Amino acid sequence: MALVNMRDMLEHAYRNRYAVGGFDLVGLDFLEAIIAAAERQRAPIILSLAESHFEYYDFELAMAATVAAARRSRVPVAIHLDHGASLESAVRGINLGCTGVMVDASTHPFEENIARTRAVVDMAHGCAVPVEGELGYVAGVEGEDAEKHPGEVIYTSPEEAAEYVARSGVDFLAVSIGTVHGRMAGEPRLDLERLAAINERLGIPLVIHGGTGLSDAQFRALIERGVTKINYYTALADAAAARMRANAGADPRAGYTGLMKGVRAAIADEVERCIELWGGAGRADAVLAEARPWHEVEHLIVYNLNEAGEARVADMMQEGRKVLSAIPGVRRVFTGDAVTAGAPYRHCWLVRFASEAVIPTYRDHPAHRAFADTLFRPVAGDRISIDYIAVEDPPAGA
């Protein structure tokens, strides 16, 4: 299990002046390539899933694969929701397995950005999940030509950044200092003095969006001034597309697998180049030693029902699965009936939490209280429960 606390991971990078890549993935090829590159470089890595990409893949299915890949990896991994648009997006991301979330309310006025971000922070911190906020505006669209989306870049002001971080409670701040999302014509002009001033005032890990197209020297200058997470996508997508175009050129009759040959390697090469350039190579063991491992916790109740409860057990379980699984930090809800006749307990709940921090959050949540106090406890006086860290080894051969 190489999922680690993302806050600890980025604190390590911040203290040791290197940056971890937040690489957006849009499919299994990206996922496998990014993990393989990080393992070859022995580097910590952030697997990022951007809400703007959800039209290209099924987020729920992609998360299942991402969590599985992170668990069996041999380097420290965090799973991040990139550009989450709302509180609901953040809850969905955490409940599907994200261990960090970004709330992007940067297009809203200052006060509203703070209020929307604060709501996500309050929810996410109740699950021990750190939050990235954005102040200022980074224009452009990932994967496209930046000139096609010329939107006005709004630079982050150091004074406003200090107030924003204090009032919103974010753990990491995405800043706007001249980068844009997507493919750029020429090198962007970065306001490094502004970045240095923000870093001096805040002293927390800073994030750069729109990593594609920056020069080696620019990356180094960013990292020297507190940038600890670099979001990167377009260059990976372009490397994949170039390989597919070459495959199509070499064999115009190539089918899907023919077109995809070498795509993973092309993505992985670019990820490795970034990892080396950003200083993450060889850091995995130090991060694994320092960062808290990310453990899910399971809440198990075995119980017997009185006669009234037995009469409507199926409805009660169905209602519980629905309301409890919507609570922030609840990864899964299982219900069960004993299959052996003589079992001393006839029924069970198994509620999987994103982390240990969710135990009190869940206990005190109004939806849990309402369900437990009205539908469950009155009919289930005979019950025992346990909360435990769920330990699982990677599948044999992984």
Q: Kindly write out the interface string for residues 193-222 of this chain, putting x where it contacts ligand 13P by CB under 6 A and - elsewhere.
A: ----------------xxxx----------
The verdict on 24 binding ligand 13P (CB under 6 A) reads: yes
Q: How many angstroms separate the CA atoms of 263 and 270, rounded?
A: 11
**Interface with ligand 13P includes 5 (CB under 6 A)?**
no
Query: Collapsing DSSP states into helix, strand and coil, what is residue 276?
Result: helix
Contact pick of 232, 294, 353, 362 for ligand 13P (by CB under 6 A): 232
Q: How far is the CB of 23 from ligand 13P (least distance, A)?
A: 9
CB of 181 to ligand 13P, least distance (A): 4
- Residue numbers 154-193 binding ligand 13P by CB under 6 A: 181-182
Instruction: Considering the complex, state which of residue 129 and residue 208 has its C-beta at the smaller distance from ligand 13P.
Output: 208
Residue of the chain from 18, 30, 172, 233 that contacts ligand 13P (CB under 6 A): 233
Minimum CB distance to ligand 13P, residue 32 (Å):
19
> How do strand 347-353 and strand 297-304 relate by DSSP bridges?
antiparallel
Q: Is 373 a catalytic residue?
A: no
Q: Which two tokens stand for residue 149?
A: 């989306």
H-assigned helices in the chain: 6-16, 28-41, 59-72, 87-96, 110-125, 158-168, 192-202, 216-224, 234-250, 256-260, 263-277, 284-290, 307-311, 313-325, 358-364, 366-370
233 vs 371, beta carbon nearer ligand 13P: 233
Q: Does 270 bind ligand 13P (CB under 6 A)?
A: no
| Stretch near ligand 13P under the rule CB under 6 A, chosen from 26-34, 226-234, 261-269, 323-331 | 226-234
Instruction: Name residue, tokens 């990206």.
Output: 30
> Should residue 116 be labelled a site residue for ligand 13P when binding is judged by CB under 6 A?
no
Q: Which is nearer to ligand 13P, 4 or 175 (CB)?
A: 175
Alpha-carbon distances of 295 from 116, 175, 358, 386, 389, rounded to whole Å? 28, 30, 11, 16, 6
Confirm if 126 and 361 have CB atoms less than 8 A apart.
yes
* Shortest separation between residue 144's beta carbon and ligand 13P, angstroms: 9
Residues paired with 48 in a beta bridge: 24, 80
- Closest CB to ligand 13P among 268 and 284? 268
Task: Tell me the window of 165-173, 232-240, 265-273, 343-351 that interacts with ligand 13P (CB under 6 A).
Answer: 232-240
Question: Judged by CB, which is closer to ligand 13P: 149, or 363?
Answer: 149
Q: Is 126 in the site for ligand 13P (CB under 6 A)?
A: no
Q: Which of residues 48-87 bind ligand 13P (CB under 6 A)?
A: 50, 82-83
Residues touching ligand 13P: how many (CB under 6 A)? 15
Q: Which residues contact 134 (CB under 8 A, 6 or more apart)?
A: 102, 104, 105, 106, 173, 174, 175, 176, 207, 209
List 8, 24, 29, 82, catalytic entry: 82
End-to-end Cα spacing for the chain: 12
- Contacts with ligand 13P in 273-332 (CB under 6 A)? none
Residue with tokens 């969006």: 209
Q: For ligand 13P, give the closer residue by CB, 128 or 207.
A: 207
Tokens of 260: 């995809």
Q: With beta carbons less than 8 A apart as the criterion, state whether 102 and 174 touch.
A: yes
Asked if 297 and 390 count as a contact pair (C-beta separation under 8 A), the reply is yes
Residues 6+ apart with CB under 8 A from 346: 303, 304, 305, 337, 338
Question: How far apart (Å, rounded) are the C-alpha atoms in residues 143 and 70?
Answer: 25
Site for ligand 13P contains 234 (CB under 6 A)? yes
State how far Cα 121 lies from the chain centre.
14
Give phi and psi for 30, each to the nearest 5.
Answer: -65, -45
Determine, following the binding rule CB under 6 A, whether residue 231 of this chain makes contact with ligand 13P: yes
* Catalytic positions: 82
The residues binding ligand 13P (CB under 6 A) are 24, 50, 82-83, 142, 181-182, 209-212, 231-234
